[in-house]
A and B are shown apart, each in its own frame.
Chain A
């Protein structure tokens, strides 16, 4: 049982390049989330999904797209990377069968955009 895994762990992009971050969970969780973590700002929700085939915008969605084609995977895409997207990205998942269910986090992806 690997929990929540993220690929890649590190990435350096040039401005304007694109990339996709992959999140996978093996806990059969319905809900999945993408956050970004910036110094002094905590975690901010980018997009989330309440089930396979569904996605919704979070607090800071601009510049990102997501897809949830399979229940266990949640992809985060950057179509044209900008230096402002330099951050650490965390994926999380939860059952959310009731309010207050715990979120489980992946180890993070450190992205630098030059």
Chain B
């Protein structure tokens, strides 16, 4: 069965500190992994994705994510958090053309 886990409902960081939002997946075959961000009362916006190649993927707004096949993880990171990064973050996995499986979301709070 395919599934995505985001073990933290909420992550709190101070502005300027590094942030990590965790994601692990369980899927057969080769996964395609995504991070999306959702601001209040808005739809999901694409941040970055891993398809193949370099395990470190760089995306929008200074975010990056590291694919770790042995640990089946795809953690989202940013070296220096901004207050404007506060939002809801979703990890998603796809293994074919048709279906995406989303995690339950992690609320990121960046405090000044």
A contacts, CB < 8 Å to B: 4, 31, 33, 35, 40-45, 48, 50, 56, 58, 90, 92, 96, 99-108
Chain B 19-43 residues near chain A, CB threshold 8 A: 32, 34, 36, 41-43
- Chain A proximity of B6: nearest CB distance (Å): 8
Docked pose: A108 CA to B94 CA in angstroms: 22
- Chain A proximity of B99: nearest CB distance (Å): 6
- Chain A proximity of B45: nearest CB distance (Å): 7
Pick the contact of A45 from B9, B49, B51, B100 — CB < 8 Å? B100
Residues of A within 8 A of B43 (CB): 4, 90, 105-108
Residues of B within 8 A of A44 (CB): 102
Pick the contact of A102 from B9, B42, B49 — CB < 8 Å? B49
A102–B34 touching, CB < 8 Å: yes
B contacts, CB < 8 Å to A: 4, 9, 32, 34, 36, 41-46, 49, 51, 90, 94-100, 102-105
Pick the contact of B94 from A41, A56, A90, A99 — CB < 8 Å? A99
Residues of B within 8 A of A90 (CB): 43-44
Residues of A within 8 A of B103 (CB): 42
- Chain A proximity of B79: nearest CB distance (Å): 24
B42–A45 touching, CB < 8 Å: no
Return the chain A residue nearest B43 by Cβ.
Answer: A105
Residues of A within 8 A of B94 (CB): 99-100
The 6 closest A-B pairs by CB, nearest first: A100-B32, A105-B43, A42-B102, A43-B102, A105-B44, A42-B104
